[in-house]
A and B are shown apart, each in its own frame.
Chain A
Amino acid sequence: MLKNYFKIAFRNLTKNKTFSFINVSGLTLGFSCFILISLFVLDELSFDRFHKDVDDTYRIVQTITEASGDTRNVATIAPTIGPNAKDQFPEIVNQTRLLQIGRLTVGNDPLKRDYEQIWIAGPDFFEFFDFKFLYGNPSTSLTGPNNLVITESTALKYFGKKDVLGESLYTNRFEATITGVIKDFPPNSHINMETIHTIETWAPLFDEGRWFTSNWTSNSIITYLKTAPDFKKNDLESKITDLVISNYSDEIEYSSSFWLQPLKDIHLQSAGIDGGLNANQGSNLYLYMFAIIGVLVLVIACFNYMNLSTAAASKRTKEVGMRKTLGAGKSQLIMQYLGESIILSLVSLIIAITAVEFLLPYINNISGKALALPFDSIPLLTILLSVVLLSGILSALYPAIFLSKINPSKAFKTDIKLGSSGFSLKKVLVVAQFAISIGMIAATIIIYQQLNYINSKELGFSVDNKLVIDINSGPLRAQFESIKQEFEKLDAVKSVSVSSRVPGEWKVFPIANLETFENDNRSQSIFIGADEDFISTYDIQILEGRNLRNDPADSSSVLISKQAVAELGLTNPVGQRININGTVWNGDLDDGDGYAPTIVGVVDNFHFESLHKSQKPVMIASYRNPIHNIDYYTLNIETNDWQKTIADLQAINYQFDPQNPVEYTFLDNRFEELYRADKMRGQLFLIFSGIVIFIACMGLFALASFTIESRIKEIGIRKVLGASVKDIVVMVCKDFVLLVAFGFVVATPIAWFGIEKWLTDFAYRININLSFFLLAGVIAIAIALITVSYHALKSAWINPVKTLRSE
């Protein structure tokens, strides 16, 4: 019997090639998307869960209330809080701290040196977290001066081997001894570092280490806690807040509170938390969106299959009638149908898994993840097999029940109509499919328009052909005038400027609190120290007054942007002195930083950051300013041979600083990088809307075939009565266009709301109007028409004699 079912199933599949192809490819597509998205979602949800105490581990976050009343969350807190809290509150079982303080040049081979971030961790760090040690002792490796723990790929990078325990490694500050080699941090860890230093190594920089036990005010160190199982979170949070208040100087008004962020939430729920460490930060919003898309694609594919098999079922009434006449029971027939459907699902799943295996390297490449299909993972296999069963059953249940109910005497007639109740379900489904398609097409159009807008928006300066070189060492900073001259001697170099910061969100920039002597207005401006070539190198417009001069006599001159002038309400800015009343660094006020420069010129506004953020006022001070030293060269380059130019620059760099390699970045790449996530989202939307509309079209194709099949006689009658091919095609297509149009009505408000929400993330954005959605609707209708017209034309061309033959 089973063999007979298989035979029939196989023959049916090969007989209706179009149906089978659409069935299998639709389900395969659905499964592939589902598997990929499941892997992605599971990976996002797996962040940091490999630590055995993940449920008891928290990060302390500080909420600061600004003078303006706004609040900010910061994951870097004062270094004393963690250890003191642990000593005083028994519910804290353990604590550890991490501090990032800049970069080092590393490498025993002078020609293969590179820069590495300096991460300082408490001695207990590797006992606190469960990172895997390859060599060395986790409990002692982070003690003692100049000892260093590195990852295996860092070991390979500088030594060419992994077992480097006890070997020494050159850095430009000290000779390090490797006391531990750990496995690379897993891709699903929010912590990711290359070199981990001991507190002792850097103690001299921190008041001989006293800073770590005495500072209650800075925002600098990341602190993790492990708590006892029965602790009260709210209580501990207020106890920590009270502890910090009691240790605060009475002179400063206290305006912070502390709370505990679960370790497992750090990856996905850290939007709006500054500072701290969060490698490959995720977003709950996108996670949910992808999960929904994944399920939708699969459901849409299943319903398609249902549509298609229902349409095909009307052709199988004779087979079913004969089986019944020969004694097949209702349940046998249902089982046969479900069996066929599950076989088909299984085939699709196997193809999908193969496809996913092929696609994964490509997807890992784009997403920066290390997704893999774990064939030994029982949960995954269970999910996949249940999905196969579920989709197989779901897809075939309706046609199976319908067919099994057929009265054998009627089954031999060819014109049995399938139940009309299922028909309206199909309509609802098509509307939903096209609503989703239209929403996604509209989202894709708008995302691309917005990216286009950003790319073409005037930043107020030029990013093209700019090479930015980091100043990473004393020699490069001290001898910058000579280095500049050497750079300028190169043919390719058109101009060179030095500045404390360059546009493009590289590092935190100081915000200067500006006050006038004329009125009470204040302005918080980005503060840049620069030489006189900054303006010409970046092509920034001077609107009033003059440029800065490199002359020491000009050291207290500044340029301010039009926006700063407006915020300060200055009527005649040029020649006026203004006061800098302290600077803010990453939210930390440094009230000692200040002087009273003279405005010598006003520059046009320009965007220092990505267009996600609104334009801020800018002050460009002389590089001799007392607040911020120079940190970058910017070179305006015109060359056809970048390789040679960079080699030349490298040579000049080594001439002045043989210890440290040159570190350069193309400014336009840097700006592109700021929109990389947006671009990726745009591409993903393009792909998914393509898939969704493709699957929706298959559904429509099925529905068209189904509907037209049931109306074939009516079409025949109409033709006999004089309807032309055009009349028939219009009549048939009208209904489907109506469904799509209804989808448009459903999609527009929802998509509008969603896209509007996405756009609020940009300070500079296009405005949405109905035309984007109309365009999406027209595209969807056009695609739908093309899909339906195949069946419509086919039916309209049929000679009615064939469809009206009575018996």
Chain B
Amino acid sequence: MIQAKNLKKVYSTEEVETTALNNVNIEIKEGEFVAIMGPSGCGKSTLLNIMGLLDNPSDGEYHFLGHDVSNRTERERAQLRKGNIGFIFQSFNLIDELTVFENVELPLLYLGMSADERKEKAEAALERMSMMHRRNHFPQQLSGGQQQRVAIARAVVANAKLILADEPTGNLDSDHGNEVMKVLAELNEQGTTIVMVTHSPHDADFAMRVIHLFDGHVVTENMQEGFHV
């Protein structure tokens, strides 16, 4: 599903050049649950952004679903992203002015679906995350765990093949964090590929494979015990 060869990402300002990723090679197969770990500033989020087609690498090749997407325009990346990739963020990134239902419906709106279809899918996704009863609430009225479940509903509503989660439990207490991780594991069991950036070894335990990054390099790749690809 994802092949990255010699990925390099350099951020440059007028005076400083920062290398965020350096010769990163990663392959992720469909149905995998991969955790990316490493200290702050090691390039985890940069890698996730490139995988999520939010950003282009400075150098190297990146293939997504068989397409070479190393150097696509923003519009092309957006097209490929729509419906294929779902995002989950540490700070949930729900839109405060929209209700739970409207937040979940949003990706479908940009896919140009009809209102009926959107309703059906959004409700199904909310049902799946057990958030139907909160459909008319606003994000601020929910607990952190509930907000993250809504965010996950939003990530899966368009049947994304890949879910990218950036520290999904970072803003949650351990109970809610666990709850969210169970949901992600369930999704993975149902066939969704998940790539998750995390600081938490506990969360990483849910993944089949852990990739350790340090200063923009892949240091180790460990298969978790009991998982076989």
Residues of A within 8 A of B (CB): 713-714, 716-725, 727, 799-801, 804-806
The answer to whether B110 has its CB under 8 Å from any CB of chain A is yes
The verdict on A723 contacting B55 (CB below 8 Å), with A714-B97, A717-B93, A806-B89 known, is no
The residue that A722 contacts in the complex, of B45, B82, B91, B167, with Cβ under 8 A, is B82
B residues in contact with A717, CB < 8 Å:
93-95
The answer to whether B81 has its CB under 8 Å from any CB of chain A is yes
> Are A720 and B106 neighbours in the complex by a CB distance under 8 Å?
no
Determine how close the nearest CB of chain B comes to the CB of A415; give it in whole angstroms.
10
> Are A721 and B110 neighbours in the complex by a CB distance under 8 Å?
yes
The answer to whether B219 has its CB under 8 Å from any CB of chain A is no
Interface residues of B in 104-120 (CB under 8 A from A): 106-107, 110-111
> Are A723 and B110 neighbours in the complex by a CB distance under 8 Å?
yes
> Are B49 and A801 neighbours in the complex by a CB distance under 8 Å?
yes
> Are B106 and A721 neighbours in the complex by a CB distance under 8 Å?
yes
The residue that B111 contacts in the complex, of A714, A722, A801, with Cβ under 8 A, is A722
Query: Which of A713, A717, A799, A801 has its CB near the most chain B CB atoms (within 10 A)?
Result: A717
> Are B55 and A805 neighbours in the complex by a CB distance under 8 Å?
no
The answer to whether B142 has its CB under 8 Å from any CB of chain A is no
The answer to whether B203 has its CB under 8 Å from any CB of chain A is no
The verdict on A722 contacting B78 (CB below 8 Å), with A714-B97, A727-B110, A801-B55 known, is yes
Return the chain B residue nearest A717 by Cβ: B93
Bound-state CA distance A800–B87 (Å) is 12
Determine how close the nearest CB of chain A comes to the CB of B148; give it in whole angstroms.
13
A residues in contact with B97, CB < 8 Å:
714
The answer to whether B8 has its CB under 8 Å from any CB of chain A is no
22 A-B pairs within 8 Å (CB atoms) are namely A713-B93, A714-B95, A717-B95, A718-B95, A718-B110, A720-B52, A720-B54, A720-B81, A720-B87, A720-B93, A722-B78, A724-B78, A725-B75, A799-B54, A799-B74, A801-B49, A801-B54, A804-B93, A806-B89, A806-B90, A806-B91, A806-B166
> Are B111 and A804 neighbours in the complex by a CB distance under 8 Å?
no
The verdict on A724 contacting B75 (CB below 8 Å), with A713-B93, A714-B97, A806-B91 known, is yes
Nearest first, the 7 A-B pairs at minimum CB distance are A722-B110, A722-B82, A721-B107, A801-B54, A717-B93, A801-B49, A806-B90
The answer to whether B209 has its CB under 8 Å from any CB of chain A is no
Bound-state CA distance A582–B106 (Å) is 86
> Are A800 and B166 neighbours in the complex by a CB distance under 8 Å?
no
B residues in contact with A714, CB < 8 Å:
95-97
The answer to whether B154 has its CB under 8 Å from any CB of chain A is yes
The 8 A CB mask of B76-101 against A (1 = contact, 0 = none) is 00100111000101110111110000
Determine how close the nearest CB of chain B comes to the CB of A712; give it in whole angstroms.
12
Residues of B within 8 A of A (CB): 45, 49, 52, 54-55, 74-75, 78, 81-83, 87, 89-91, 93-97, 106-107, 110-111, 154, 166-167, 170
> Are B154 and A721 neighbours in the complex by a CB distance under 8 Å?
yes
Determine how close the nearest CB of chain A comes to the CB of B44; give it in whole angstroms.
12
Bound-state CA distance A721–B103 (Å) is 10
Q: Beyond the given A721-B106, A806-B89, please list 6 additional residue pairs across the A-B interface where CB-CB is below 8 A.
A: A714-B96, A720-B93, A724-B75, A727-B110, A799-B54, A806-B166
> Are A804 and B89 neighbours in the complex by a CB distance under 8 Å?
yes
A residues in contact with B91, CB < 8 Å:
806
Query: Which of A714, A722, A724 has its CB near the most chain B CB atoms (within 10 A)?
Result: A722
B residues in contact with A725, CB < 8 Å:
75
Bound-state CA distance A801–B110 (Å) is 19
Determine how close the nearest CB of chain B comes to the CB of A410; give it in whole angstroms.
15
Determine how close the nearest CB of chain B comes to the CB of A105; give it in whole angstroms.
81
Bound-state CA distance A713–B96 (Å) is 11
Bound-state CA distance A714–B97 (Å) is 9
Determine how close the nearest CB of chain A comes to the CB of B88; give it in whole angstroms.
11
Query: Which of A714, A720, A724, A799 has its CB near the most chain B CB atoms (within 10 A)?
Result: A720
A residues in contact with B167, CB < 8 Å:
806
Bound-state CA distance A806–B168 (Å) is 12
B residues in contact with A720, CB < 8 Å:
52, 54, 81, 87, 93
Determine how close the nearest CB of chain A comes to the CB of B221; give it in whole angstroms.
25
Determine how close the nearest CB of chain B comes to the CB of A759; give it in whole angstroms.
46
Determine how close the nearest CB of chain B comes to the CB of A292; give it in whole angstroms.
37
Determine how close the nearest CB of chain B comes to the CB of A749; give it in whole angstroms.
32
A residues in contact with B89, CB < 8 Å:
804, 806
Bound-state CA distance A716–B81 (Å) is 14
Bound-state CA distance A719–B85 (Å) is 13
A residues in contact with B95, CB < 8 Å:
714, 717-718
Return the chain B residue nearest A718 by Cβ: B106
A residues in contact with B166, CB < 8 Å:
806
Bound-state CA distance A733–B96 (Å) is 20
Bound-state CA distance A806–B44 (Å) is 13
A residues in contact with B90, CB < 8 Å:
806
Return the chain A residue nearest B48 by Cβ: A801
> Are A799 and B111 neighbours in the complex by a CB distance under 8 Å?
no
The verdict on A722 contacting B54 (CB below 8 Å), with A714-B97, A806-B90, A806-B91 known, is no
Bound-state CA distance A724–B78 (Å) is 8
Return the chain B residue nearest A800 by Cβ: B54
Determine how close the nearest CB of chain A comes to the CB of B14; give it in whole angstroms.
16
Determine how close the nearest CB of chain B comes to the CB of A149; give it in whole angstroms.
78
Bound-state CA distance A727–B93 (Å) is 19
Determine how close the nearest CB of chain B comes to the CB of A734; give it in whole angstroms.
14
Bound-state CA distance A801–B51 (Å) is 12
Bound-state CA distance A805–B20 (Å) is 15
Determine how close the nearest CB of chain B comes to the CB of A112; give it in whole angstroms.
75
Determine how close the nearest CB of chain B comes to the CB of A152; give it in whole angstroms.
69
Bound-state CA distance A644–B90 (Å) is 90
> Are B107 and A722 neighbours in the complex by a CB distance under 8 Å?
yes
Return the chain A residue nearest B50 by Cβ: A801
B residues in contact with A805, CB < 8 Å:
45
Return the chain B residue nearest A716 by Cβ: B93
Determine how close the nearest CB of chain B comes to the CB of A753; give it in whole angstroms.
38
Determine how close the nearest CB of chain B comes to the CB of A713; give it in whole angstroms.
7
Bound-state CA distance A723–B89 (Å) is 18
Query: Which of B75, B93, B154 has its CB near the most chain A CB atoms (within 10 A)?
Result: B93
Return the chain A residue nearest B166 by Cβ: A806
B residues in contact with A801, CB < 8 Å:
49, 54-55
Bound-state CA distance A141–B93 (Å) is 91
Determine how close the nearest CB of chain B comes to the CB of A367; give it in whole angstroms.
51
Return the chain B residue nearest A727 by Cβ: B110
Bound-state CA distance A800–B49 (Å) is 10
Bound-state CA distance A714–B93 (Å) is 8
Bound-state CA distance A806–B199 (Å) is 14
Determine how close the nearest CB of chain B comes to the CB of A801; give it in whole angstroms.
5
A residues in contact with B170, CB < 8 Å:
806
Return the chain A residue nearest B86 by Cβ: A721
Return the chain A residue nearest B110 by Cβ: A722
A residues in contact with B52, CB < 8 Å:
720
Bound-state CA distance A801–B164 (Å) is 13
> Are A799 and B107 neighbours in the complex by a CB distance under 8 Å?
no
Bound-state CA distance A722–B77 (Å) is 10
> Are A799 and B78 neighbours in the complex by a CB distance under 8 Å?
no
B residues in contact with A727, CB < 8 Å:
110
Determine how close the nearest CB of chain B comes to the CB of A528; give it in whole angstroms.
75
B residues in contact with A799, CB < 8 Å:
54-55, 74
Determine how close the nearest CB of chain B comes to the CB of A745; give it in whole angstroms.
24
A residues in contact with B94, CB < 8 Å:
717
> Are B81 and A722 neighbours in the complex by a CB distance under 8 Å?
yes
Bound-state CA distance A197–B75 (Å) is 87
